[in-house]
Amino acid sequence: MYRLIPLIPIAFLVMTTFSGVGADPLAPSDSVTPGLNGSCAWEVVPSPNASPERTLLRGVSAAGTGTWAVGEYDADPGTEIMNPHTLTMRWDGTAWSIVPSPNVGIGWNVLEGVTAVATDDVWAVGWSAPTTSGGMPQTLTTRWDGEGWQIVDSPVITGGSELLAIDADSGEVWAVGDRAGPGDGSTGVASLAIRRTRSSWEVLPTPDPGSARNHLYAVDVVGPDDVWAVGRWRNIGETSRTFAIHWDGSSWTQMPTPNPGLDASLEDVEGAAADDVWAVGEFHNGTGYEPLTLHWDGTAWSVVENPGGSNALAVVAVDDVWSLGATFMHWDGSSWTSEPTPPEGGSVGAADVAGPCDGWAVGRTIDDTGAFVTLTMRLAGTPTSSAEPSGSRDLPRGAVTVRLGADEPGVAWGVRPPVVPTILS
């Protein structure tokens, strides 16, 4: 079996799975074209780039003029070394601007998700590695206090760890990801969930059904003592299975989830109520990957027909839900309908809404030189109803595979399985 070995340099494999159509991915729309959701529509909004070679966004928290987006940029452009550093951007109601953010040491630093508790209390999480050639990753948490970003102490786990998502609501702040297995980290990858309590982060035990890999890619605080996290797990010699766990105020419990194909994963989760929670991802049908949408009705998870939107979720209300990916889909309470897709070469990795017809989706696109540049898309227009948004606000998702050593192709921290299902042992 493939094993996590401490202090082996890590290398990036950038996923370029999602793409859409559009004439100019960086040009703003002159006006919002009404879509199928009444007069709401998504439009590309210009956003800055910190590097001429590689800048991308992984997480967003929508809150009007307090909207934040986070990700990474290449701190050493023009060299053969790719050295990602943290990136934070803020929307002031008119334009996006880059805000300085801290890094741990001189090595790799990536922010995967962000959530706003208040205008002067914003959290972003991810991971860092010690050298410019990588190294063993460890959790990274940062906080905006209204004046600047500061690094906050977070758990250090033998063998490595990373945080891939964060959410806050009902007085709780949760972050999830994955970590090396017990002991020296030689027993595979385990899931990781941490909660902010007063002045420190607390690691709380999570189920690990897989003997090889257990990953959590998204978390949603639906309400008090009602938290969901999703991802995938895998046994030695088998392909991945969908993974969903629930926090009831005292412990995390794995809940059964459907697996319609050979290889499956859940990438995002968000709920409008305790009995109305959505999760999206993908599965392999024997020929290729298809989008997967699941719904929790308070009793069980079930598959709901949805031809697109396998990457990110944004829930406004029970009858106003967005699932985004290569295709943008909207749920009106009875069915999913297609909306305009991302620009050509664009990949949306995270979405969040502040209310009806008020939200953001972020990721990356490719400019005319072939470089990765930031992509920000705004949901705007006139709401057709007065429904209030759900409590959850943040739905980040990483778009990079981190592999611990060239001789360990089966170790993928933080993202979906390979494009072709491969039996790993």
Please check whether residue 4 lies inside any domain of the structure.
no
Q: How many Cβ atoms sit within 10 Å of the Cβ of residue 87?
A: 27
Residue 406, phi-psi category: left (phi > 0), alpha (psi -120 to 50), beta (remainder): alpha
Measured distance CA(341)–CA(328) in Å, rounded: 5
Residue type, 22: G
What does the DSSP 8-state code read for residue 212?
A: S
Please tell me the distance from the alpha carbon of residue 38 to that of residue 106, in angstroms, as a whole number. Answer: 49
Cβ-Cβ contacts under 8 Å for 422 (sequence gap 6 or more)? 239
Phi, psi of 75 (to 5 degrees): -80, -10
Dihedral sign of CA atoms 284, 290, 291, 295 in order: negative
pLDDT averaged over the chain? Answer: 83
Domain range holding 379? 10-404
**Confidence at residue 345, expressed as pLDDT on a 0 to 100 scale:** 86
39 vs 275, higher pLDDT: 275
Q: What are 219-239's pLDDT values in tens digits?
A: 999 999 999 999 999 999 999
What tokens appear for 6 in the block? Answer: 């401490």
Does 69 reside within a domain? yes
pLDDT the model gives residue 38 = 57
Strands 213-223, 312-317: parallel, antiparallel or unpaired by DSSP? unpaired
Contacts of 21 (CB under 8 A, 6+ apart): 341, 343, 344
**pLDDT exceeds 50 at position 297:** yes
If pLDDT is split at 50, 70 and 90, which confidence band does 9 have?
very low
Determine contact, residues 222/274, Cβ cutoff 8 Å: yes
Q: What is the per-residue DSSP string for 347-402? A: EEEEEEEEETTEEEEEEEEE-TTS-EEEEEEEEES--SS-PPPPS--B-----EEE
Distances in Å between the alpha carbon of 190 and those of 185, 187, 211, 308, 413? 9, 9, 9, 29, 10
Q: Which residues are within 8 A (CB) of 323 and not within 5 positions of it... i.e. 6 or more apart?
A: 278, 280, 293, 306, 308, 309, 310, 312, 313, 329, 331, 336
> What pLDDT, on a 0 to 100 scale, did the predictor assign at position 112?
98
CATH number at residue 378: 2.130.10
Residue 86 backbone phi and psi in degrees, to 5: -65, 150
Provide the whole-model pTM.
0.84
Residue 380 domain flag? yes
Neighbours of 363 (CB within 10 A): 28
Q: Helix, strand or coil for residue 66?
A: helix
Does any domain span residue 318?
yes
More confident residue, 399 or 96: 96
Helix and strand numbers (H, E) in the chain are: 0, 30
Residue 66 main-chain phi, psi, to 5 deg: -100, 25
**Residue 131 falls within a domain, yes or no?**
yes
Q: What residue type is assigned to position 313 of the chain? A: L
Q: Is residue 305 part of a domain?
A: yes
In whole angstroms, how far apart are CA 71 and each of 39, 58, 86, 99, 343? 30, 5, 6, 12, 19
**Position with higher pLDDT, 27 vs 279:** 279
Would you call 35 helix, strand, or coil by DSSP? Answer: coil
Per-residue model confidence (pLDDT) at position 384: 60
Q: Would residue 412 count as lying in a domain?
A: no
Give dist(CA 277, CA 289) in Å, integer: 23
Instruction: For residue 35, list its beta bridge partners.
Output: none
- In this structure, is residue 38 part of a structural domain? yes
- Are 396 and 350 in contact by the 8 Å Cβ rule? The answer is yes
Cα 28 from Cα 46, distance rounded (Å)? 6
The size of the chain, in residues, is 425
pLDDT class of 198 with cuts at 50, 70, 90: confident
The C-alpha atoms of residue 404 and residue 410 are separated, in whole angstroms, by 9
Nearest in space to 281 (alpha carbons), one of 337, 359, 217? 217
pLDDT value at 394 more than 90: no
Cα gap 5→9, rounded to integer Å: 10
CA 107 to chain centre: 22
Q: How many domains does the chain have?
A: 1
Tokens read off for 289: 């990957």
pLDDT, one tens digit per residue, over 24-60 is 322 333 333 334 455 789 999 999 999 999 999 999 9
* Average confidence (pLDDT) over 213-219: 97
